[in-house]
Structure 1
Amino acid sequence: MYPHKATEAQHRERRIRSFQPRRGRMTNAQAGALDRSWETYGIPIDGSPLDLRELFGELPVTLEIGFGMGETTAAMAAADPATGILAADVHTPGHGNLLGLLERDGSENVRLAAGDAVILLRDMLPDASLAGLRVYFADPWPKPKHHKRRLVQPSFLDLVLPRLAPGALVHCATDWEPYAEQMLAVLSASPELENLHPEGDGSGWLEPADHPDGSIPGYAPRPEWRPVTKFERAGIAKGHVVHDLLFRRR
């Protein structure tokens, strides 16, 4: 059954969260997909340990935190059926939308986790169980008083690292420059992670006087396998610069 309300355990917890629950209004199509497919694809984030082999078989599993309306998740799942995607979000219309896209594509390599990803990481996933982590366009919480709510923090990395298998890929993307700088600082500070593009992304966003090769040190070029989203295009149209970060678990 779809968890229309947060579990009692989540209500009891008092801590800073990186999200605001957004139940929102669902379309008929989203509600229908939720009714039809939640039992097939859905996992409540309730603190119960998960058996990823039972959910995904022998597929390597990547955790995606914050998939929005699910277009990128669905596209990547269809393009790479050999990778399992555990997609976590709190947005009910997004759950329904992603389920509809998975139905449309016939993808079977995705499981949708509804709720707080911190509980998922802390209580439900075994150590060294993930082949990757994706955090795309998380809320940047731009006001200084809200920076403590940003997802990518040292405390978050403390939760993530034990769950990553050696060689696991950590991929973050944001169009908010100060958050990109924070992500780069947090990930670079861990001796357990290796930056795959320490030389830069070759973007040419900086003047040659700053970096003769035109790259921004530490950031990666957008991999071909990460689709450009509508949200991303809108940000670019406003003059935002999108930064990708690619790190590997040592």
Structure 2
Amino acid sequence: MITHISYSSVLLFLNNPAAWYSKYVLGIRDQKTSPAALVGSAFHKYMEGRLNNMPLALARDRAVNFMNLVTDVDFGKTGSPEKCLEDLDKLILGYHENPIRVGIILGVEAGYTEKITGIKLPIKCYIDLIHRLDNEIIITDWKTVRTFKDEPTPAQILQGCFYYYIISKALKQEPVRFDIVQIKVSSNRDGTPQVKTISIVYADHPEYLVGVKELTKQSIRQMVSKRKKFLVNLRDDYEGEAEFKRFLEQFL
């Protein structure tokens, strides 16, 4: 039984309903972690420590300890724990050469669960950083990347709208924007910064907030329907292979 939703669960449902059913209904969570995801999560741990006033060295140790505890990593032919540690240090250095401006911190890796008007199930989320800057509430999300994007992706628009709904309800003040802070692993040949921020200014895009709410409502209607069979999306690079193998097992 589904008791709540998150932007990641809705995103997975839209991308690969069979994988969503396995993960969120059956509770099967056997997908291995990629090296890039491991490094990204470790960087989040590092930033959480720093924003909570932890010294740089201790925050790095915290991130490294996190990586050492994750055992289900698919390193493939080219990845390794040493390469992950090297990439983590590149991210840390790149960020500190061009840090963002942070105001009064309202939450770091803060968890919220709120019932939103018009949406049947409560929304649950964890937000990297909420801060008040120039008397405006800003939501910030760290994205470790190989290449920069110039505009938010559809998935990031979905994420930003979910955060808007939940922060408006929890803090009783509407956030002004959603900042997606991209931190690039490798340095740029032209010497430009390894950090680039793209933003969703909510007042500029009322269609995002209305459209995502309607998409969420339609998704929930399908999630809670009596339908129990969902087809696998074989083009899903993250969940497709595991779901296809699971599908084939019934014929062995």
TM bracket, shorter-chain basis: under 0.3
More helix by share: 2
TM-score normalized by the length of structure 2: 0.26
- Which protein has greater RCO, CA pairs closer than 8 Å, 6+ apart? 2
Larger Rg over CA atoms: 2
